[in-house]
Amino acid sequence: MFFNVKVMLIALVFGYVLVPAVAMAQSANEPPRLSDGRPNLQGVWDFKTITPLQRPVGLGDRAELTEEEAASLEAQVERSQTALLESIGGKIGAYNAFWFDIGTNVVESRQTSLIIDPPDGRLPSLVEGAVRQSGSLVEDIPGDRPVRYRSGGIGLDGPEDRALAERCLVGFNSGPPMMPSGYNNNMQLFQTSDYVVILNEMVHDARIIPLDGREHLDGVRQWMGDSRGSWDGDTLVVESRNFTDFTSSFDPGATGGIGTGETLHLIERFTRLDENTLVYEYTVNDPNTFTRPFTVALPMRQLELPIFEYACHEGNYGMLNLLSGARAKEAEPATP
């Protein structure tokens, strides 16, 4: 089992030893188990998919694609992906397809959306007056600080005008909750009887989640919330509260942020379906933002590769260059 050095150091700081657990024998109908009898959820898990978060309106109440529809969609995406990815950069340029890792497959269940509740596969309506932000990757869109969405910006006056992932504060797919995006759709899960560690490749954030029944923090808010874990049968349940109000309650895409993390109550569920599949479900409950809770189901596939460090701007030189470029452009003579 590959163990990330950073997670090992974090484990030592928190005063416990993170060691590989010994798997117990299992029958064909049971998940692999560790020596304490709990399902073995450990491994590197890949959650990229072309299945959309929300069901396309044209599919109406259809919860599942046919095999033929899924195959046709996957073939279409595979043919068009390179041209699509190379076109999105516009004036700023873009990575070519080699550097992206969106994938070309729908989820194995062929569900028409990752949202499984409400039944229409769509995000619930917003509460009247709910906070909503939007921005742009290319052009500035005036808006209010704090910038709570993940990628984009409202201006170039300072780093506070850029979104959270651009500032390397949080990843744009790491959450919580996790959501497929352009690349680095990988996470590694470590497990002992007392703790679970979720390490996201994107921005290399690690959540250390105690399983001992302790109370949530009082008066302390964090970028990734305050997580507590417990077992519901063979499913690991992680409850997170106390997110900072500098993040959104939910970010459905690259340039959108809905609500504030201050009012988010998040429930995540991890279930080992078989040797190669970890089912990740989460429920977003924020009555200040959405008219009802909603639930997403995202199957993850096991990888044989390790997690690699995501340095994010290599010391944040990217932000320095972005703002320096804006100052240089401002200093250019006006075009007659």
Q: So what's the pLDDT on residue 18?
A: 41
Q: Report pLDDT digits (tens) over 318-328.
A: 888 889 999 99
Work out the average pLDDT over 161-178.
91
Q: So what's the pLDDT on residue 27?
A: 47
pTM: 0.86
Q: So what's the pLDDT on residue 110?
A: 96
Give the other-Cβ count within 10 Å of 74's Cβ: 15
Q: Report pLDDT digits (tens) over 221-235.
A: 999 999 999 999 999
Q: So what's the pLDDT on residue 166?
A: 87
Work out the average pLDDT over 119-141.
86
Work out the average pLDDT over 189-203.
96
Confidence of residue 14 (pLDDT cuts 50, 70, 90): very low
Which residues have CB under 8 Å from 71's CB, separation 6+? none
Q: So what's the pLDDT on residue 266?
A: 98
Work out the average pLDDT over 301-324.
86
Query: What residue ranges do the domains of the chain occupy?
Result: 5-60+115-331, 66-105
First to last CA, the chain: 64
Q: Report pLDDT digits (tens) over 232-255.
A: 999 999 999 999 999 999 998 755
Q: So what's the pLDDT on residue 91?
A: 47
